[in-house]
Structures are given as C-alpha cells and as structure tokens.
Amino acid sequence: MRPAIAYIHLDHLRYNYQVLASQADGAYMIAVVKADAYGHGLRWVAPVLWQEGCRYFAVTDAEEGMRLRDILTPQRSANILLLSGIFDEEDARYCVDAQLIPALTHEQQIAWLKAHHFAGGIWIKVNTGMHRLDADSPEKLLQCCDEASIQVIGIMSHLACADTPDHPLNVHQHDHFFTMYQRLLPTAQASLLNSAGLISPTGKHYDYVRTGIALYGSEPVVQKKLGLKPVMQLTGKVIQIHTLNPGDAISYGATFVAERPMQLAIVTLGYADGLPRALSNCGHAYCKGHYYPMVGRVCMDYCQLDCTNTPLAVGDCVEFWGGHLLADDIAMKLDTISYTLFTGVGERVHRQVVVSTQ
C-alpha cells in the first residue's frame, strides 16, 4: 500500500461537536457533511455525530443523501437535508425512496416531487444578500407548495461574510432574514447560521444552526478561536534519502538548486493527493518535533523535504497538516480556505480512523 494516509481523529470530531453544541443557545445542530464530510469520510463521520446526539445532517444533493441514508440505515430517524435541492425527476424519486428533505429554490422542483407523490417535508432557501442559489420568488414557491399539498417545514438563508463579524452585510442579512421569516413563514422552523455565524452571531440563532467547517476543527472566526481540534492529519512517508552536491537541482523545472551539500527526503505525497502545488519551495512538513522545508516543485506523487539540518530516515511519517501544521495557517499562506485543502485530498489517500489518542 502506498503510504499516503489521512488520519481521521474521531475523538476530535466528538470534542468539536460538543463545543459547538454548547455555543448554539438551544438551537439544534445540523451537521454539514457534504462532499464526503469535507473530505474526512462520511462513513465514519456521520455515525460518530449521531452518537454525539446529532439528528439533522446536510449534504448537497440527492446522491449524497442516498449514500448517507445507506450509512445511517440503523438510525432511521436521521433527518437528511439537501442544501442544493433536487436537479431532476430522478432526484425527486430518491427523495421519496430515502426520505430526503430538499431545500427548494424553484417551482419546477415541486412538479418533480409531485410527479413522484412526495409526501415528506421541504425547506425553502431564500436570498438575504448572498445572491447564490436561492428562490427568486419565495411567495410563488410557497403558493406552488400549497397547491401541491407539499409541507414546508423550514426557511433558510446563508451568510456571505460571517467569518468577518463586523462586516455590514451580516446585520443586513440578519434583518432581511427576520423580515422574510416573519412575513412568509412565522410558524415554520428557521435556520441562518453557519459555523462562523454560530461562533460570532450578529443576531438570533433561530431553530437550527448549520455547522460544517468548525466540526472538522478549523477556526472560522480568527478573532474568536474556540480551541477546536483538527480532525484530519494528512501524512506521507519518507521513501528515499538523497545526498546532493552544490549545484544539484531538485524536481521539475529545477526551481531549487543546492548551494551547499544537502540531505533530501523524498516523500509519498503529491498534488494528486491534494498537497497544493503552490506549496512548492514554500511549504513545510512536520516530523518528531521538527519542521522541514519543502524544496523544489511538488510533483503528482511526491514532494521533497530538506533534511540537512535534522536528519530524516526512510520510513519516517511526516505531517503536512494536522495538529502541528494547522490547515487554517497553510490556507492563509496560499490565499485560500481550509475547505479547499480538506476537500482536495484525493481519493487515493487512505483514510485511517483514529478512535482515541489516549
């Protein structure tokens, strides 16, 4: 087996869930587990969250919903919400077969559900300032639901700038949501906050909060860190050590040339595994108390570490992100977000569950 492994620390997931639940001011948690639980492995993440008390899960579409229903077969009462709604009639059939709860944004979706005699409930998703996938006309959508006898159980919207707590759009979105909720569905359930919104709320929590990234240990609000624990630890193994002479070049493009005798470790993790190529000549890896600079370009299957000052040996396991190198810090350095790092971890990286570190 190629030793490229993402260790998934389930005890950290449990810890993060409880920390977030304690912040929720009585609101129920919807665990956002789309994109294979943000790359962490839905089949481990969802049952653990269920054990921690989570009863509402959100994925993006019906295929993810079917998969989750399968994983949670013993937990029949798990609620599975589809944040992107349904895309065609087949999705509507999946909703019926697997008791999925779509968040709807246009009338055509109601026709698809009706064609399959959908008897469950739906949410509607409204625009409060983000201008992404939302109902153009919530009034028309609600009227259609009424005519089709489809039960509307909730209204939701999504915050665009919750990770910047003093951004004026937060107050605007809160106000706008409150007005729409009062006007359209004052007796329905409501949900506005994502992880950052929960950690630094500008207004009401409503009935449900939809937490994604914070469950996995990223701190969505830099100004208000909660001490969340990283769930994913991405690692590779040293498989070769080279001795380089001054003038020797490393990897594609010869972008790094040794100026002195060097020890170079070749490690089994590359950009096809999700290690960003942008870390070439500027990233680090961690092993046994030391940080090693990445030298030369990150390749598809490998990267190279300078281990001249502190030796590495064949067989050493090195961390690329996890408890010693925070994905948030790496993301900031690369002008991206930890979401892209986690979801970018390739399928060929083995996920290995760690149940307890004690």
Ligand X SMILES: Cc1ncc(COP(=O)(O)O)c(C=O)c1O
User: Could you confirm whether 56 is annotated as catalytic?
Assistant: no
Residues 243-302 interacting with ligand X (rule: CB under 6 A)? none
For the bound state, the minimum distance from the C-beta of residue 331 to ligand X, rounded and expressed in Å, comes to 13
List the catalytic residue out of 17, 34, 38, 292.
34
Q: Site residues for ligand X, window 73-102 (CB under 6 A)?
A: 83
Measured CA to CA, the distance from residue 279 to residue 329 in angstroms comes to 12
At 65 the three-state DSSP class reads helix
190 binds ligand X (CB under 6 A): no
CB of 274 to ligand X, least distance (A): 18
Query: Residue 208's closest CA among 348, 46, 50, 26?
Result: 26
> What is the sign, positive or negative, of the torsion defined by CA atoms of 215, 40, 122, 105?
positive
Q: Which residue has 């959100």 as its token pair?
A: 58
User: Taking contact as CB under 6 A, which single stretch among the options 170-178, 194-202, 242-250, 350-358 is the one that binds ligand X?
Assistant: 194-202
Question: Is 224 part of the annotated catalytic residue set?
Answer: no
Interatomic CA distance for residues 24 and 209, integer angstroms: 7
- The one-letter code for the residue type at 104 is L
Contact 122, 82 (CB under 8 A): no
Pairing status of strand 4-9 against strand 28-32: unpaired
Which uninterrupted H or E stretch holds 124? strand 121-125
Between 14 and 53, how does the x/- string for binding to ligand X read (CB under 6 A)?
------------------x---------------------
Only segment of 46-54, 192-200, 232-240, 303-311 that touches ligand X (CB under 6 A): 192-200
Q: Would you count residue 194 as binding ligand X (CB under 6 A)? A: yes
CA gap 274, 291 in Å, rounded = 20
The pair of structure tokens assigned to 221 is: 């609000």
Task: List the one residue from 158, 229, 284, 351 that touches ligand X (CB under 6 A).
Answer: 158
Residue 170 engages ligand X in binding (rule: CB under 6 A): no
Binding flag, residue 66, ligand X (CB under 6 A):
no
Residue whose CB is nearest to ligand X in the complex, by number: 212
- The number of residues that bind ligand X (CB under 6 A) is 12
CA 63 from centroid of its chain's CA atoms: 17
- Binding ligand X (rule: CB under 6 A), the pick from 212, 274, 296, 322 is 212
Calpha distance 32→36 (Å, rounded): 10
- The reply on whether position 210 binds ligand X by CB under 6 A is yes
Q: Annotated catalytic sites, by residue?
A: 34, 252
Binding site for ligand X (CB under 6 A): 32, 83, 158, 194-196, 210-214, 220
